[in-house]
Chains A and B, each alone.
Chain A
């Protein structure tokens, strides 16, 4: 079974803190994604990584950065957390190509106070 694991289920951080969200997958997938999910807005892509050290901005990259130093790990970084970044964050991975399936982690609910 494919396993995508996010480091925390729930996180509470203070405004201005630097926040790291970690995602690890165990299936040697090339592609990894970070989404945020907010009520009424669906899943919005923050960043996408084609492969190690490769990244591409998604639809809402402002206020975020990412790191992909190893194939299995994709980190999302909130440089200076703000209250409008309170959200559910979802990581996904898949093998490269278009006839493939993507698998999600369990999600991290981040609250910035």
Chain B
């Protein structure tokens, strides 16, 4: 089945650093969603993007819907220990959600 290419696969950073991750696809999407998953829990929606070029923030998180509609980016500024988890992108172009492979983030004090 189709999955989006998400990179990096994992990141090990120090508290206070900024983080960037991205998601690319060969298909066009109408909506990009970014989720965070804590260990043993379901993914929680962080940011939703609906228009090409759109830049949306949620606290220290900023996400962008790529102009080509084939990619999206998530940035986390000034990371803190509770940012630890797995981040997933998801694209929608029909009623089906297509997920990225995930970025595992570790934050060291």
Residues of A within 8 A of B (CB): 4, 6, 31, 33, 35, 42-45, 48, 50, 58-60, 90, 92, 94, 96-107, 109
Q: Which 8 A-B pairs have the closest CB atoms?
A: A59-B1, A104-B42, A98-B30, A43-B99, A42-B101, A107-B42, A106-B42, A101-B48
- 21 interchain pairs, CB-CB under 8 A: A4-B42, A6-B42, A31-B95, A33-B97, A42-B3, A45-B1, A48-B96, A58-B1, A90-B43, A97-B95, A98-B30, A98-B31, A98-B93, A98-B95, A100-B31, A102-B33, A102-B97, A104-B42, A106-B42, A107-B41, A107-B42
Segment 18-59 of B: residues with Cβ below 8 Å from A: 30-31, 33, 35, 40-45, 48, 50
Expressed in whole angstroms, the Cα–Cα distance for A33 and B94 within the complex equals: 14
Residue in A closest to B6 when the chains form the complex, CB atoms: A42
Residue-wise, chain B 89-109 has the 8 Å CB interface mask toward A (1 for contact) of 010111111011110000000
Query: Given the known A-B contacts A31-B95, A101-B48, are A42 and B100 also in contact in the complex, defined by CB atoms under 8 Å?
Result: yes
* Chain A positions within 8 Å of B88 at CB level: 42-43
Interface bin, chain B: 20 to 34
A-B contacts, CB under 8 A, total: 63
Residue in A closest to B97 when the chains form the complex, CB atoms: A102
Known: A4-B42, A103-B45. 6 other contacts (CB 8 A): A33-B97, A35-B99, A94-B95, A100-B31, A105-B42, A107-B41
Residue in A closest to B9 when the chains form the complex, CB atoms: A40
Query: Given the known A-B contacts A33-B97, A43-B88, A60-B1, are A101 and B42 also in contact in the complex, defined by CB atoms under 8 Å?
Result: no
Expressed in whole angstroms, the Cα–Cα distance for A43 and B30 within the complex equals: 20
Query: Given the known A-B contacts A42-B3, A43-B99, are A99 and B40 also in contact in the complex, defined by CB atoms under 8 Å?
Result: no
Query: Given the known A-B contacts A31-B95, A42-B3, A42-B102, are A99 and B41 also in contact in the complex, defined by CB atoms under 8 Å?
Result: no
B41:A102 contact, CB within 8 angstroms: no
Segment 54-98 of B: residues with Cβ below 8 Å from A: 88, 90, 92-97
Min CB distance A82 to B, Å, is: 20
* Chain A positions within 8 Å of B41 at CB level: 106-107
